[in-house]
Amino acid sequence: MAASSARDRLTVIRRHLAPHPRDSDLQGHGGQAEGAAGGGGGVQNKGIQWQTASDTTPPPHPHTTIPRKRQDLLKWNGWGYQDSKFLVHKEKDKDYYVSFTGSRYKIGNLVLPHFASWVKETLGVKFDDCTPPQPPPQPQDYPASIINQEFLDEMKRLGIEMSIEGEDRLFRAHGHTLAEVFVLREGMFPRIPDVVVWPGNHSEVVKVVAAAGKHNVALIPFGGGTSVSGALLCPEEESRPIVSLDTSQMCRILWVDEKNLTARIEAGIIGQDLEKQLQARGYTAGHEPDSYEFSSLGGWVATRASGMKKNVYGNIEDLVLQVRAVTPRGTIDRYTAGPRLSAGPDTQNFIMGSEGTMGVVTEVTLKVRPVPSVRRYGSVVFPDFSSGLACMRQVAFHRCQPASIRLMDNQQFKFGHALKPPTGLMGLLSDGIKKIYLTRIRGFDLNTMCVATLLFEGSEQDVAQQERRINTLALEVGGIPAGEANGERGYMLTFVIAYIRDLGFDYGIVAESFETSVPWDRVATLCHNVKHRVHSQCQERGIKHRFVTCRVTQTYDAGACVYFYFAFNYRGLSDPVHVYEEIETNARNEILGCGGSISHHHGVGKVRRQWMSQTISETSLGALRAVKQYFDPDNIFASGNLI
């Protein structure tokens, strides 16, 4: 910010006001704009309508949903908001029942009358047998901090905020794999970051990275902390101090370019804030991974994230025009914002999916779209999974996907029903009629049928047309449209399902998800084989109660993304995490053997590193190592992910 004088800022503002912004001026654009936004001088900016939309420049201290002390709002040892969770109740002389607290989700403050019995039946849960997690650690419980005083002094001198408090360090020591959450509940990580720093913008990141190189400390970037690949875990063998570089304070939308429908955004912004702020201006990025309440833009880029509505908006690599990232070698930048580039291999791809091993993403130019006028859910039921799959294939073949289309298998269909809130008499009646219609008249079997959930976005006319198209294709393979409510519940479950795991832990259930992408002709066998493998592995280990389910969550021209949930009752097993990991390893081997990929969107991190050599050739891996060697010869970004 020292670089931007008041005169510079004025030039920028003038350019924004000019009717035809020139592309050639974009060089350094972001950095200067950021100066304007975060400069703290602020006086010149006040009241200036620098965009045709009614809003003003981003506030100097933008509101973030999640505070710097994340533990004030979020659970320290589980998923999501503190106020949102599943609770088990027992009234005298009655059976146990489950409810969901808080008012953030549609399921909130509701009793779920069918859930307790489903859990008992499927997973053999005994509600009398509860194992609560350990209390939060005391200050002396945290691993001692390895301090590099010169680095801390330099941070202080630069005015970059930092913390060496145990709580702050612990919160950034992990993501949300089963193993990590299990450690939070029952143990302690052998290594956690020694210091947390919060740079406020790109140039502060440049300084932090330079200081890290100078004082030989390791950096692990932290965005939203929703990783499910072990990417945030500190390598135990790392002897240098480890600094967690928390990007959450870099969360401003620097500008929105309405002519080109693009926006320059700082990489630390989390999904819900991004959407709120863009929608306030009438736009949307349309990127909604299931974690989007908490995950950050930089994290999306660093893991090659995929959003639920990719059919309309694209995955992150389709949405991103420019990526700016700081590596120990210098800053990666692309100067042009042209919509496509023929200029050699795309160097931005060194950063996309690099999982914090090459550097840290600081700013991104994203494409945005006007907020659609209609958003509507839908659903279709099928007599069995293979007919559902045939419908998905046809939809992809005709390229008539709505914003989202997902096919859940029979187990997940039943699971969804178990989470139905109580229904009134009319609801009960119509449910009963539906059931009779499906099973008696249409001959559906409740033990094979499955459901596809749909999300439509667009104009009223577009949506209506899309609905007609999908329904026609569904009918051809024996499907029946099943209304909005089923669809909406399906998508709501996506957000809520992560909370269930914390409840499960209390009662001896461990649960995890894993995903893959696979060519169309192998989707059916992959789903079948992987479920079979997981079941047979459970059987071998004497695991009686288990729940294995999958859904096809994305469709492409050449294949689909398949998402598995796997939960089992670990009462009687000594090391459930290890057992889980062995089974998931088996499942991943099966996935690769059936033509599936190492990951569709979760990334590799540390837990899937062993399959990289079965994913790309030795030469390709060598190229990745060489790039890492160039950007980061001293291995400052020492997370050890990916390769």
Partner 1 sequence: MEGAVGHTALSEPSGQGKPTCQYIDLLAERRQSSDLRWAIREWKSVGDYKYGNHLTRKEIFDHVLQSDRVQHTISQLVEGGKDQEVLINEVEEILEQMGHTQDISVIRQFAFVLPKIMKRIYGKVMINEEGIEKLRSTLVETPVVLLPTHRSYADFLLVSYIAYHFNLPLPVIAAGMDFMSMAVIGDKLRGSGAFYIRRSFMDNTLYWAVFQEYVLTIVECTGAPLEFFLEGTRSRSGKSLPPKIGLLGCVSECWLRGRLPDLAIVPISISYERTLEEKLYAYELLGVPKPKESTSGLLKATSILKENYGDIYITVGDAVSVREFLEPLVDRHLSVATPSHLAPLSRPELSACESLGYHMLRKIQQGVVTSVWSVMCIHLQRVLSTGQWSLPFDTLVQETAWLIDLLKRIGAVISVEGGVKESVERCLEIHREVARLGEDGRVHIQRLYNHSLATTNGTKMSLKGTSLINAVTEQVLQHYINKVIHLLIRPALLSLALISLHTTTLEKLKSRFEFLRSLFGYDFIFEKNAEGRDFMEGLSVMMWCGEASLVQDHVHLVQGGGRFMKTLLNVLSPFVLAYFCTARTLASQEWVDNGELVAASQLAVENCLTPGSGRYSALSLDSIRHALRALTRMGAATRITGEDGKVRLKPVVQSVSSIVEVLGHLIRSQPLKHKL
- Tell me: is residue 306 an annotated ligand-binding position: yes
| Shortest distance (Å) from residue 547 CB to partner 1 | 18
| Shortest distance (Å) from residue 360 CB to partner 1 | 32
**Cβ distance to partner 1 smaller for residue 218 or 526:** 526
Q: Which stretch binds partner 1 (CB under 8 A): 228-236, 429-437, 460-468, 514-522?
A: 514-522
- Tell me: is residue 501 an annotated ligand-binding position: yes
Q: Are 390 and 524 in contact (CB under 8 A)?
A: no
Q: Which stretch binds partner 1 (CB under 8 A): 152-160, 170-178, 294-302, 518-526?
A: 518-526
Q: Are 221 and 360 in contact (CB under 8 A)?
A: yes
CA count, 13 A, side-chain hemisphere, 354: 29
- Tell me: is residue 68 an annotated ligand-binding position: no
| Shortest distance (Å) from residue 618 CB to partner 1 | 13
Amino acid at position 434, single letter: K
Q: State the Cα–Cα distance between residues 30 and 321, nearest whole angstrom.
A: 13
Per-residue binder mask for partner 1 (CB under 8 A), 579-618, x = binder: ----------xx-xxxx------------------xx---
Q: Which stretch binds partner 1 (CB under 8 A): 31-39, 367-375, 525-533, 625-633?
A: 525-533
**Cβ distance to partner 1 smaller for residue 465 or 529:** 529
Is 447 near partner 1 (CB under 8 A)? Answer: no
Q: CA of 502: how far to CAs of 86, 104, 507, 522, 524, in Å?
A: 8, 17, 9, 33, 31
Is 301 near partner 1 (CB under 8 A)? Answer: no
With CB under 8 A as the contact rule, the residue among 23, 72, 186, 521 that binds partner 1 is: 521
CB atoms within 10 A of CB 596: 26
- Kindly name the residue from 292, 563, 565, 580 that is annotated as catalytic: 563
Q: Which stretch binds partner 1 (CB under 8 A): 199-207, 399-407, 529-537, 622-630?
A: 529-537
**Cβ distance to partner 1 smaller for residue 471 or 529:** 529
| Shortest distance (Å) from residue 621 CB to partner 1 | 14
| Shortest distance (Å) from residue 556 CB to partner 1 | 15
Judged by CB under 8 A, the number of residues near partner 1 is: 19
Query: DSSP code of 145?
Result: P
Which residues partner with 534 through β-bridges? Answer: none
- Tell me: is residue 224 an annotated ligand-binding position: yes
| Shortest distance (Å) from residue 305 CB to partner 1 | 24
Q: CA of 44: how far to CAs of 14, 50, 265, in Å?
A: 12, 12, 22
Per-residue binder mask for partner 1 (CB under 8 A), 613-642, x = binder: -xx---------------------------
- Tell me: is residue 222 an annotated ligand-binding position: yes
Q: Which two tokens stand for residue 548?
A: 């294995």
Parallel/antiparallel/unpaired status of strands 253-257 and 110-112? unpaired
Per-residue binder mask for partner 1 (CB under 8 A), 470-509, x = binder: ----------------------------------------
| Start-to-end C-alpha separation, the chain | 36
Q: Which two tokens stand for residue 443?
A: 């001959």
**Cβ distance to partner 1 smaller for residue 61 or 532:** 532
With CB under 8 A as the contact rule, the residue among 68, 120, 329, 528 that binds partner 1 is: 528
| Shortest distance (Å) from residue 642 CB to partner 1 | 18
Phi then psi for 99, rounded to 5 degrees?
Answer: -135, 170
Query: DSSP code of 606?
Result: T
**Cβ distance to partner 1 smaller for residue 72 or 521:** 521
Q: CA of 338: how far to CAs of 189, 315, 345, 468, in Å?
A: 45, 18, 16, 36
With CB under 8 A as the contact rule, the residue among 329, 522, 571, 609 that binds partner 1 is: 522
**Residue 506 burial (CB < 10 Å; 0-12/13-18/19+)?**
middle
**Cβ distance to partner 1 smaller for residue 59 or 593:** 593
CA 528 to chain centre: 26
**Cβ distance to partner 1 smaller for residue 385 or 507:** 385
- Tell me: is residue 360 an annotated ligand-binding position: yes
Q: What angle separates helix 520-540 from helix 385-397, to the nearest 10 degrees?
A: 150
- Tell me: is residue 189 an annotated ligand-binding position: no
Q: Does an H or E element contain 242, and which? A: strand 242-246
DSSP assignment of 549-595, as one string? EEEEEEE-SSEEEEEEEEEEE-TT-S-HHHHHHHHHHHHHHHHHHTT
Q: Which stretch binds partner 1 (CB under 8 A): 111-119, 191-199, 531-539, 575-583?
A: 531-539
Residue matched to tokens 């499906």: 438
Which residues partner with 246 through β-bridges? Answer: 222
**Cβ distance to partner 1 smaller for residue 156 or 532:** 532
Q: State the Cα–Cα distance between residues 541 and 439, nearest whole angstrom.
A: 37
Amino acid at position 197, single letter: V
**Cβ distance to partner 1 smaller for residue 592 or 623:** 592
Q: State the Cα–Cα distance between residues 258 and 78, nearest whole angstrom.
A: 40
Q: Which two tokens stand for residue 623?
A: 């190229």
Q: State the Cα–Cα distance between residues 230 and 605, nearest whole angstrom.
A: 5
Q: Which stretch binds partner 1 (CB under 8 A): 30-38, 130-138, 477-485, 523-531?
A: 523-531
Q: Which of 238, 271, 240 is nearest to 366 (CA)?
A: 271
Q: State the Cα–Cα distance between residues 359 and 233, nearest whole angstrom.
A: 16
| Shortest distance (Å) from residue 619 CB to partner 1 | 15
Residue matched to tokens 């950063």: 351
Catalytic-residue membership of 377: no
- Tell me: is residue 551 an annotated ligand-binding position: no
**Cβ distance to partner 1 smaller for residue 380 or 594:** 594
Q: Which stretch binds partner 1 (CB under 8 A): 217-225, 313-321, 467-475, 528-536?
A: 528-536
| Shortest distance (Å) from residue 615 CB to partner 1 | 8
DSSP assignment of 10-70, as one string? HHHHHHHHSSS--GGGGTTHHHHHHHHHH-S--TTTTT---SSSS--SPPSS---SS-SSG
| Shortest distance (Å) from residue 366 CB to partner 1 | 32
Q: Which of 366, 316, 325, 315 is nearest to 347 (CA)?
A: 325
**Cβ distance to partner 1 smaller for residue 121 or 521:** 521
Q: Which two tokens stand for residue 160?
A: 């970059």
Phi then psi for 403, rounded to 5 degrees?
Answer: -50, -40
Per-residue binder mask for partner 1 (CB under 8 A), 532-571, x = binder: xx--x-----------------------------------
| Shortest distance (Å) from residue 521 CB to partner 1 | 7
Can you say which residues are annotated as belonging to the binding site for FAD?
A: 221-227, 303-306, 355-361
Q: Which residues are catalytic?
A: 563
Site residues for partner 1 per CB under 8 A: 519, 521-522, 525-526, 528-530, 532-533, 536, 589-590, 592-595, 614-615
Can you say which residues are annotated as belonging to the binding site for substrate?
A: 501
Can you say which residues are annotated as belonging to the binding site?
A: 221-227, 303-306, 355-361, 501
